[in-house]
Every structure is written in structure tokens, then in C-alpha cells.
Structure 1
């Protein structure tokens, strides 16, 4: 991540300071970020979504909505772009700041191209490989501790979405604040070490969740206690053997779904 991040850092200072965005425009951009994948396609991926999200701020360019600068910028930002959707706000905010500051179009296009790699890899490691499994295992622990199906599912959705909405808000704020200088933010300790911290937490929670969940599935009887011990040992062996061969979030979500369905059917 550090090498691509450094390559995004421009070699010259910004042309000027952009005007402050009104709160209504910031809110409009954030709400549009929630639908950034609505026009996703295999040809330009998030390209249309990036253009859609930057559009409210591009109306502040000289000539206003429909002006030459507006049309050129909107066309420029509606081309191919690939990033993790939760981190796309970094690109949206940075590109808006660059446009309103009067950066040369060629420089903006180079910066836009360089953003794809870091915003994709950082997001995948932090969200799909760390945050989602962590929330899934925490929900599994709640199930093992006696929570009902609605509490398990509701708690998972509340926790996961609280994190993902906070991440989207942070991404947009950082992009608008730093513009073309977002490389330092993407190299921060939370983004670098966050996945490792979440992985360690998920491992601890998983160790507590699996025995409790199996005990609840079996019930208060001890007739199947030996089978539980064997199942736990077999599960640990399978997970160890699958290390590096299957994505952790897929396994966590599969286990969570299986136990929730069991509790409902029961």
C-alpha cells in the first residue's frame, strides 16, 4: 500500500484553495455515495458512480451547471474507476477539491488513475477480510450466549453498518480536506494495522463463540457431549487446513447463516 500511496503524492503545490462546500452539498454528496454502485458495470466499474457523486460540487465551477467547465469535469470523472465502495469517498472528495482549486485536467486525470490501486487494496483488507468477519463472529458469540435470532441479526446489521457509515464519512472528509495530498491519510496506522487488530480480535471472539454456539445447538443434555468435543476438534483442524485457501469472511458468514437458520427452524 505504501508504494502506490506515495505515487499519488503530487510533485507541485495546489493551484489554489477551493471554496468551502455548503453543508447541503456535502450532505448531497454523502447520500449519493450510498448509491455509488447503483450504475456499476463491467466496462467502467464505479466510473458513473464517481461522476454522480461529484456532480453537486461541480456546479460551483465557473459557468455553473451546464457550463463548459462543468461538462468537461463531469465527463472526466464518469470514466473507468475502480475502488472499494466504502473508500470511494476519498476519491470523490479529493477530485472535487482538485477541480474547485483549478488543478490542470491532465494532473487530475493522472491522480485519478493512481487512486484506483490503493483505494481498492486498503478497503478489501480492512472491510472484507477483517471488519466483516469480526462482526459476524461477534454475532455468533451473541447467539451462543443466548440471544434470539432477531437480536443476532439486528445486532450484526447495527454494528456492521455503524462501522461502514463511519468509514464512508471519514473518507469523504479526508478527501475534501487533503485533496491531492491524501496519500499520507491512506498510510495512517489505523489503515495499516487495523486489519491485524481486527483479525486478532476475531480469533479471540471465535474461540469463545464456537463452543457456546455448539452447546446451545445441542441443548442442556449431555448425551452428545463427546460429539461436541469431536466436532470442535474437527472444526479447528478444518480451519487450520483451510488457512490461506478460503477467505475468512466467507467462512464466518457461512457459519453465522447456518446457526441463525437452525435457530429459526428449531
Structure 2
């Protein structure tokens, strides 16, 4: 591709200087210089367009865009039983230097992120652009049964956004431990755990020399099969409240039917 510049060719001012560009597949309207030691010329210019042009693809310095950011934009969950399709971000594990704090130059360069009812953690994180580096880990919990997962946010190849998921026990792992298990996967892929399937969609925006990755998190809930003892306990509870008010009978019956439904689906 040739892009004409607003600069006439010296000596013949009816023509315009132009540069060679190569379109990159890392965002919309993102190009890189090609054949940097050559210039072209065109006799007519087309309609003006705004393009983002970086250094050649084989030269990716950290100064192309000084700061990259993750910004949480949406969280949606799905399952045929809507009660299981409620998730929230309850915490974050990361170095405090990753926060885009109010009052800093980095924060002023990006859109304001309004707090969301589904997140108790900050909405914006400054990315460590080192390939394979982990920026932050979101601790996510399903409201109904407390099933949790960790969503890892980091950098992949060629400064692309990358993600991972894992489960954890009673104690939160450290950022160092999470970095050791982080296996970057590109946006758009389905990542599966026993109780959750997660996909992260990304939209890249360049603004004021900053690159922002807007994250749309999609979760498909997967029910946990109840144990035999849990079903027996609920059956006993349902029988015990047979002579009690209808509200208590209905609640006990609902608990038992809910576990039976989860048992069938899994």
C-alpha cells in the first residue's frame, strides 16, 4: 500500500510524496512502514484517512506507544438456569504499579472508567508489555454457589493482549506463582475449567499516544454435580417440612429439584 503525504515532490510540485505501508492484523487501521529507505510519488491523492503507523514489523520498540492499558468494559454470563449466571470480580492480584491511578499522566490519557456493580476491583491496569508477562489476575466468583476462578491478563506475542484461567484453593496464589503458570492465549478463544467456560473479546483503541484494550468478558456457567449425600440431605429436609407452612415446603422442594437438575445436566 502507498500512502500519500501532504508534501509535494521537490522540483515537480504537481506530484505528492508517498510512503510504503503494510497493514497489520493487530487492530483496525494499524499499519507499519515498509521499504523505509524508499519514497514514492503520486499525481493524485485520494480521500484523507486517519491511520496509525508504527515502525516496521520486525522493529517493535517500547516507545511506539509508551503505555498500554487493559480496561474492563463488560461482564456477561450465560446458562439456562439464570440463577447460576451471576458473576462478580471480587479482588485482583497484581503489583500496585499496574494500577492506572487518578492524578497520574497515564490516567489522564485514557477514558474515565465508571465503577460497575459487578466489579469490586479497579477497572484499568497498565500493561507490562514484555512478551509472556502477567499484568493482573482477576478473582471472579459465581454468586449462587461461590465457585471461583482466576482470569489472568497479560501480554502475548507482538504486544498483543493475552489471557489465561485457572482455579485456586483456599489461599490466593501470589503474583510470582501466577506468572509461573501463565500460558498466554489470544483473545477470542474459549478457555475451560470444570465449572466455567471463559472467553475474552478485545477491542483496541489508540488515543493520545496510548493503546487501550477494552475487555468484554463472557462466561458460560457449568453446574457442579451434587454429591449423593447432598441429595439425601435435601430429600430429608423436604420430607421434614411436609407439615410446615407452604413457603417452607416450596423452598425445600426447590432446593431438591435444583440439585436434581444440576445432576442431570452434568
TM > 0.5: no
* TM-score normalised by length of structure 1: 0.29
* TM-score normalised by length of structure 2: 0.29
- Bigger share in strand: 2
- Bigger share in helix: 1
Pick the structure with greater CA Rg: 2
